[in-house]
Structure 1
C-alpha cells in the first residue's frame, strides 16, 4: 500500500506523491522535456505511460509518480514502474539482470530548466528509492539516461553505479544512453 502522506520540503518546493489534480502539470513537464530537451517529441512506443499517467502510476500499487510543486505548479517529476529494459533493443544480458516485476525502474526524472539546481531531482529520486525499498518484490533499482541532456550523466554518476554504456556498442554511438543501478534498502547515497 502506498503511503500517500510522504512529502519533503526543499526550500519553497514540496516533493510528494502525485494526485489526479497533478496529472495535467506532470504530463506538461514530460512532454516539454521530450520536445525541448530530447528534441524528438512524443513517441507512442516509448511514452505510453505519459498518456495514461493515472492508470500507470496512480492506480498501480507497485508504481508511483512523485512531483515537485511550487505555488501549485508541477515543476518536476520522477516515476517508478516495474518494467526492466526490453530486449531488443537492449542487450539480452541487461534484460535478464533487470527482469520485469522484480526491477524498480526510475523514469521521467525531469525538472523544468528554471527550477533546476535546487536539489529537486535528488529529493525525488531519494523518495523513489525509498518507495522501491518498501514495496514487496523489488530487488533492484535501475535506470537509463540520455547522455545528450546537459548535466544528466553527471547527476546519475553522483548517485548510481554504471552498469552498461550503450555508446560503446556501435560505431554510431548506440542509443546514446548509459544504464545505471542505484543501491537501495538504506544504501542510497546523496553524492
Structure 2
C-alpha cells in the first residue's frame, strides 16, 4: 500500500518503508534511542529494530512509514504501528491484559532526527499512520507510551489529544501510557 500525504511538511515526503530503506530506518531508530534516551541496545526491547521485515512488513496489520528528505533522499524519521500486545514483565500487567484482544495497535518508533525537528514531521507521520490504520480497519484503539525524559514528547502527545491511561513514571517502566481512539478521524 502506498501512503500519500498531501500535507507533508515542505521538503519532506512521507511514504511506506521499502526494503532498501531498512538500514537507514534502523540507523534513525538506534540514533534516537542512544542520543535522545541515553539508552544502550537491548535485544529484547529493540527486537523490532533488528527485524523490521518480520515486525512491520510481513505481518498483516503492522507497517512502518518513513519521512524522506526530498533534496537528499535520506530517511530522516520513522513511525509505525504493530499489534498492541505489550511485553509481559516490561509493562503494567493490567495494560498487557487490556491490549491482548488483538484490536489495539501500538504506535511505535516515532523518531525524527534532531536536525530535522520542529518542522511538524512527527505530526504528519502520526496522522499518516492513523489514517492508514483507520482505512485498513485492523485496530479500534491506538496505544502508545513515552518517557518524561524524551525531548518534547509529553507536550507533543498531549497536543494530539492523547488520553493518559497509566502514569507509571515512578513505577517499573518509568513511562506514561496513552490511547487514541480510531472510531472517528483524529485531526492532528
- Normalised TM-score (structure 2): 0.90
Q: Please give the alpha-carbon distance, in whole angstroms, between the structure 2 residues aligned to 1:43 and 1:98.
A: 23
Q: Show the counterpart of 1:161.
A: 163
Q: Please give the alpha-carbon distance, in whole angstroms, between the structure 1 residues aligned to 2:140 and 2:41.
A: 30
Listed one character per residue, the Cα deviations across residues 34-70 of structure 1 (whole Å, up to 9, x for unaligned) are 1111112211011111111122212223111010100
In the superposition, relative to structure 1, how do residues 54 and 7 fare at CA in structure 2: closer, same or farther (>3 Å)? Answer: farther
Q: Show the counterpart of 1:128.
A: 129
Listed one character per residue, the Cα deviations across residues 107-144 of structure 1 (whole Å, up to 9, x for unaligned) are 10000011001111011111111122123341210000
Q: Show the counterpart of 1:53.
A: 52
Q: Please give the alpha-carbon distance, in whole angstroms, between the structure 2 residues aligned to 1:16 and 1:124.
A: 9
Is 1:97 the counterpart of 2:95? The answer is no
Q: Show the counterpart of 2:178.
A: 180
Is the Cα–Cα contact under 8 Å of residues 106 and 142 in structure 1 kept in the other structure?
yes
Task: Report matched runs for 1:74-113 at 5 Å.
Answer: 74-99=75-100, 101-113=102-114
In the superposition, relative to structure 1, how do residues 52 and 86 fare at CA in structure 2: closer, same or farther (>3 Å)? Answer: closer
Aligned length: 184
Listed one character per residue, the Cα deviations across residues 48-101 of structure 1 (whole Å, up to 9, x for unaligned) are 111111222122231110101002100000010013223333222212222252
Q: Give the gaps of 5 or more residues in structure 1.
A: none
In angstroms, what is the RMSD of aligned CA positions? Answer: 1.6
Task: Report matched runs for 1:23-34 at 5 Å.
Answer: 23-34=22-33
Q: Show the counterpart of 1:63.
A: 62
Is the Cα–Cα contact under 8 Å of residues 82 and 100 in structure 1 kept in the other structure?
no
- Larger RCO, structure (CA 8 Å, separation 6 or more): 2
Q: Show the counterpart of 1:148.
A: 149
Q: Please give the alpha-carbon distance, in whole angstroms, between the structure 2 residues aligned to 1:89 and 1:67.
A: 27
Is the Cα–Cα contact under 8 Å of residues 98 and 140 in structure 1 kept in the other structure?
no
